[in-house]
Amino acid sequence: MLKVVAFVAAILIAAGMQTGFADEKEEVADVLEQIQGDWEQRLGKIRVEKHVDGNTETSIVFNELGEVVREQTSVFKIQKLGDFFVLSWKDAQVTGGAARGQRIPNGTIVFRLRDGKWHCAEGFSSDEFFSPSFGVWHRPEVREP
């Protein structure tokens, strides 16, 4: 686990460096296009939905009864770093649930897209609000009426 934490920390430190290659800008634009729309993640009985529209992300957390526990929105940018992408968010605010109106500190996620899934690692920078975690987002199942 320490090797993983050290690896992710090295990625986050290096994230400030930009190479300026035109193909990297194209890759970032392509990834931004790929993450548009709806995503879902299940954490036990908790379900989290994410909607990406341009450079804005809205996440909604539902409890086991399907009730909204928390909703938050943020603005983000994406950078390319080796085989990974770094998503940095800012201006995050809780827009629903008990903590409505609360501001969320800026943060960073290291991610990659593979086989139609969005693999993320967050909470590894020194000033991060969230604890370190890994997650896999997938497109929600299409349910017929």
Domain around 70: 2-137
- Residue linked to tokens 């997650």: 135
The 8-class DSSP code of residue 138 comes to: B
With a cut of 60, say whether residue 14 has pLDDT above it: no
**Mean pLDDT, the chain, as a whole number?**
86
Residue 70 has a pLDDT of 96
145 lies in some domain: no
With a cut of 80, say whether residue 5 has pLDDT above it: no
With a cut of 90, say whether residue 31 has pLDDT above it: yes
Instruction: List the one residue out of 59, 64, 69, 66 whose CA is nearest residue 89.
Output: 59
Task: Return the percentage of the chain with pLDDT > 70, whole number.
Answer: 79
105 lies in some domain: yes
142 lies in some domain: no
Number of neighbouring beta carbons within 10 Å of residue 9: 15
- Per-residue pLDDT tens over the stretch 125-142: 766 666 888 999 999 987
Rounded CA-CA distance 23/85 in Å is 14
48 lies in some domain: yes
Q: Are 123 and 131 in contact (CB under 8 A)?
A: yes
144 lies in some domain: no
Read off the CATH number of the domain in which 22 is found.
2.40.128
Residue 132 has a pLDDT of 87
pTM: 0.79
DSSP assignment of 11-24 equals HHHHTT-----HHH
Number of neighbouring beta carbons within 10 Å of residue 39: 20
With a cut of 90, say whether residue 57 has pLDDT above it: yes
Rounded CA-CA distance 59/74 in Å is 9
**Domains contained in the chain, number:** 1
Residue 29 φ then ψ, to 5°: -60, -40
